[in-house]
Amino acid sequence: MKKIGFIGIGVMGGPIIGHLLRAGYEVYGYTRTKAKAESLIAAGMVWCDTIALVTVSADVIFTMVGFPKDVEDVYFANDGIFKAITAGKYVVDLTTSEPRLAQRISKQAQELGVHALDAPVTGGDLGAINGTLTIMVGGEDADFDTILPILSVFGKSITLHGAAGFGQHAKMANQIGIAGSLIGMAEVLTYAQQVGLDPEKVLATVGSGSASSWQLVNNGPKAVSGDYQPGFYIKHFVKDMNIALDEISEHQVELPGLQLANEIYETLIDNGKMDLGTQAIIEWYKKQ
C-alpha cells in the first residue's frame, strides 16, 4: 500500500508527511488552511480540496487533527471519511482523542468493511521531525501488522495495547505522566531561581541524575530562556487532561497531580496563553 492519505497538517502532521514522502509513499493531503501545506506540495504531496478526495485517492487514510469534535467531524460528517470510503481500506487516527470515540470509529469501520486503528503519538514536534515518535495503538492484531511498516517510517517505539480505544487509553496514561513531569520541571526551576542558583547549571546537574525527565531536558532550557514556541500547545494538553479526568471519574479514581496540573493550565488559558507551548507553565509559578 503506497498511497497514503493525510488529513490535518500541523506541527506534527507536516513532519510526518515529510518522512512518508521521503520513504517513497504517494501522499494525498488535506487541511483546512492550504497555506500550511505549500512546502509539502512543493516536496511532492498531492493536494486534495476535500476530505472525500483524500479518501478515494488513498489506500490508508491518516487523520491528525486538534480535538475530539474535529475527529468526529472528519469521520462522520456528511463530507467526512465514512461517506466516501470503500471496503478494504484502512483508517488510522493519530489524534489524541477519546477512547469511546475510537471505539465508535472502529464499530462504524467494521460495518463498512474498513480496517481502523487508533494510534495517538507522543514525542512532540522534535519526535515528529526526527521520526522517533512513540506510537500507542488500539485495534486488531492483523490490522496492526499491516500498518506497522508505515508507522515505522515516523515512529521508533510502536506498541499494540489492545482492542479499539486502548491506544487512546495508553496515551492518557502518558499524558498523566507528562502532567507530573511538567510540574516537576517548573518547581525545580522555581526553587533554583528563588534561592539564587544558576538555572542552567541546575538543569545540567538534575538532568543527568535520577530526577531527570524528558520535560526537564527538552523543555527546561526553553522555560529558562522564555522560549514558549509550541512543540505541544497548552490548549491541546488541557484537552488531553480533561479526557483523562473524564475517564478516571468513571473508575472512581483520584489523581491529584493531574488535577493540579489541569488547574494550572486552565489558569494560563484564562490569561490568554492557550497557544503557547506547555513549557510556559513556568509563567504560572512566576506570578505566585
Residues known to be catalytic: 171
| Residue among 173, 135, 158 nearest 12 (CA) | 135
Tell me the pairing of strands 121-122 and 133-138: antiparallel
CA–CA distance, 124 with 232 (Å, rounded to integer): 6
Residue pair 156/134 in contact by the 8 Å Cβ criterion: yes
CA–CA distance, 110 with 139 (Å, rounded to integer): 11
CA–CA distance, 276 with 14 (Å, rounded to integer): 19
| Grid cell in block for residue 25 | 509513499
Residue pair 124/178 in contact by the 8 Å Cβ criterion: no
Biggest alpha carbon–alpha carbon distance for the chain: 64
- Tell me the Cα Rg of the chain: 20
